[in-house]
Structure 1
């Protein structure tokens, strides 16, 4: 169940002008007669980070669940690979804001990886080959030293990096992050965004990230989407943060962080 949430295959799509991209077309979600959002259209290129911002209850997390296929929705998800060919089956990785589990449980990081990657009970799937794979996955997020650490003993930042490592096996075409550094300390936050930058450069994956931290998004995002029961505006951080609707929701943004800011 946990693994099925971390990785999904998406539905078919059409041409994207021979550019590696994910197109989210006319997405809408409703519960009964209540429409949470409608008409959401996003175009996310490989190697780009798209930030989704908005007030509480705007539908941001539900949008990610709709992309994952976890909630019924309108619209379709289209994917074009790096060669300009429609594959119809992009791999999607997902990192939730929180992972609810019994912190007193004895399960280690290795145990969780073994169960998720093999689909078998931990005591049936232990092998040196699998352990080497897990160490490689964890090394990608600077966490190989955590392989035998008990899951409940991890800090918030360590746990999020472990979840990120799991979401990256297999390497996704599209990575969805739901407030991944909420409650993480400063050092953990800096490290997490360094890892995302490396993934974008080396693996050329597309990222959609939900955040309430506008200054972080001003520094790290290529495009920003303001949602409020639909897309209000979309563009560069400077364009979106200068939009009167954004300032109405979040208050006046007087300046953006410089290149050295976190």
Structure 2
């Protein structure tokens, strides 16, 4: 395993019975690099992340991790019984044996120190995401795994949250592995984008979205100028069942963006 990598995944396959969920996936996670997994529902994104976290064993292939790798995990959402009185401070105490100073520093890192004494039940969606992110930071992670961190956050809040994640990457020099369910939107701070539909359809570095109306029309949302597309070479497409179909030479040459083709 290269000392430059935190995680190396080689020819990974994961099946549940006769159902193949991850098919021949290879990828690496490096310090200071943000990798975003995108793809449709049921594409295997969560399964792949569970394998990275060590919660699932591969059917075949290998996952190699740095020997002392510290991982911080932020779930997509957390259901807390509304009858259970819980402040942000007490919630953070459940995450790790961290000092009061560590908890305050984690909240400061996500710009949420003012929430320390508030009830978790009173938090907005964006505030709760910041608290969950602070909780993941208490492990002082070398790898930060985020499962749809912008879930339940509006577009402006998503843009700010993505900037915050980029600043945390810069501060901690950690690798970030992030899941998104949206095939069209990839935040501008991402270093590597992987389009997954059981196998890796395409991957590459994002490109800053221009103000060209055709791009804005493609995304069809306000604030598209703050997000990014990425380029790739895509040598196949899928039918409605997800099976691979060969592309004609003309179609292949025209296929410059991984959008809603999966």
Give the aligned partner of residue 68 of structure 1: 53
Q: Does 1:50 align with 2:35?
A: yes
For residue 18 of structure 2, what is the aligned residue in structure 1? 33
Alignment CA distance shift 1:25-1:216 (3 Å): same
The aligned length equals 220
Structure 1 residues not aligned, in runs of 5+ = 1-13, 80-86, 119-128, 253-262
C-alpha distance in structure 1 between counterparts of 2:53 and 2:155, whole Å: 30
Structure 2 CA distance for partners of 1:248 and 1:52, relative to 1, 3 Å:
closer
Q: Distance in 2 between matches of 1:25 and 1:64?
A: 14
Q: Is the 8 A contact 2:202 2:233 kept in 1?
A: no
Asked whether 1:169 is paired with 2:138, we answer: yes
What SS does the aligned partner of 1:101 have? coil
**Structure 2 match to 1:232:** 201
Superposition map of 1:56-135 within 5 A: 56-74=41-59, 75-79=61-65, 87-118=66-97, 130-135=99-104
Matching of residue 209 in structure 1 with residue 178 in structure 2: yes
**What are structure 2's unaligned runs of at least 5 residues?**
207-229, 238-254
Residues 216/105 of structure 1: CA separation in 2 closer, same or farther (3 Å cut) = same
Q: Counterparts of 1:181 and 1:211 in 2: how far apart (Å)?
A: 8
| Alpha-carbon separation, structure 1, partners of 2:14 and 2:164 | 32
CA gap of 1:35–1:216, structure 2 versus 1, over 3 A, is closer
RMSD (Å) for aligned C-alpha atoms: 2.5
**In structure 2, distance between residues paired with 1:214 and 1:51:** 11
Provide the TM-score with structure 1 as the length reference.
Answer: 0.75
TM-score by length of 2: 0.75
| SS class of match (2:27) | strand
Which of 149, 159, 168 aligns to 2:118? It is 149
Q: Which has the higher contact order (CA 8 A, sep 6+)?
A: 1
